[in-house]
Amino acid sequence: MSHIQIRNLSVHYGDRRVLRNITLDVPDGQLVALIGPSGCGKTTFLKSLNRLLDLVDDTHVTGQVLIDGEDIYGEKADVAALRKKIGFLSQRPYPLPMSIHDNIAFGPRIHGMEVSVEHYLRLAGLWEEVQDRLHTPASRLSIGQQQRLALARALAVEPGAILADEPTSALDPHSVKIVENQFRLLKRDYTVLMVTHILRQARRLADYIVFFYLGELVEHGPAEAFFTSPKDDRTKAYVSGEIS
């Protein structure tokens, strides 16, 4: 399990500041929901934790993100090794252009690890559905299955934490239920950070809530306390549905 600490993190896209001075200790082994209205910086925050922001042009990051005590924006940081430690699930699943089996085996093979494809497909709750067609193209899976494949693929490189960017927003209700159930199981062994703009989903799943508003971290705390007695006025307005 990875230890994630954020210190004074700010992110600019060009001249526009999208994250302002974020400081947060992510609680280990919990499912942490990042909530807030669209455009409040949730996804940017998530992508700053595994340096996927590097791929966006004209981004400027200041502050520190410490993973297991090491600053990932430090000069000596090994980005590939960092990303192996922190799994990532995008909003819309993108299987790699290869077979179901190879989608899982690709990551471990690159890192020179042994892999049991079956194990990770089971962890993601997909094994029963694909066990007799492992060598067919992953592109033929339904979008709900593709998202679970993406989850299995991320788990296969044995990360300590999982980042998930609205992982159910592109899925049908049935797949949403399956994926949510997998997340409930995963939080026993992983720290999970999940961006969601669905409050009910955060209530259903999260142990800990982090609330962003217009690029600021407004409030964070254990889920129950957060929902029953929010402190900040903006949080109250958001939780009660006055702003969304």
Partner 1 sequence: MRLRRFKESLFRFLMIASLSLVVTAFVAILATIVVKGASAMNLAMLLETPKGGYYLGKGGGIANAIAGTLYLGLGASLLSLLVGLPAALALQKEYARPWLSRFSRLVLDILWGTPSIVYGAFGFVVMVRFGIRASMLGGILALSLVMLPIMVRSMGEVIRAVPQELKESAYALGTTQTEVTLAVVLRQAVPGILTAILLAFGRGVGDAAALLFTAGYTDYMPGSLLDPVASLPLAIFFQIATPVPEVQARAYAAALILLAIVLAINLASRLLGRRFSRHVIQ
Return d(Cα 69, Cα 164) in angstroms, integer: 22
Q: What span, in angstroms and rounded, lies between the C-alpha atoms of 123 and 224?
A: 28
From 7, 12, 20, 83, residue interacting with partner 1 (rule: CB under 8 A): 83
Smallest gap from Cβ 52 to partner 1, in A, equals: 6
Q: Which of these, 47, 67, 58, 50, lies nearest to 7 by C-alpha position? A: 67
* Residue 76 interacts with partner 1 (CB under 8 A): yes or no: no
* CB hemisphere CA count around 5 (13 angstroms): 7
Binding residues among 19-48 for partner 1 as defined by CB under 8 A: none
Of 22-30, 36-44, 102-110, 216-224, which part binds partner 1 (CB under 8 A)? 102-110
The only residue of 33, 67, 72, 82 in contact with partner 1, by rule CB under 8 A: 82
Confirm or reject binding of residue 55 to partner 1 (CB under 8 A).
Answer: yes
What is the torsion angle, in degrees rounded to the nearest 10, for the CA atoms of residue 217, residue 218, residue 219 and residue 220?
-10
Under rule CB under 8 A, residue 57 binds partner 1: yes
Residue 194 three-state SS: strand
Give the residue, chosen from 1, 97, 118, 224, that forms a contact with partner 1 under the rule CB under 8 A. 97
Q: Is 154 in the site for partner 1 (CB under 8 A)?
A: yes
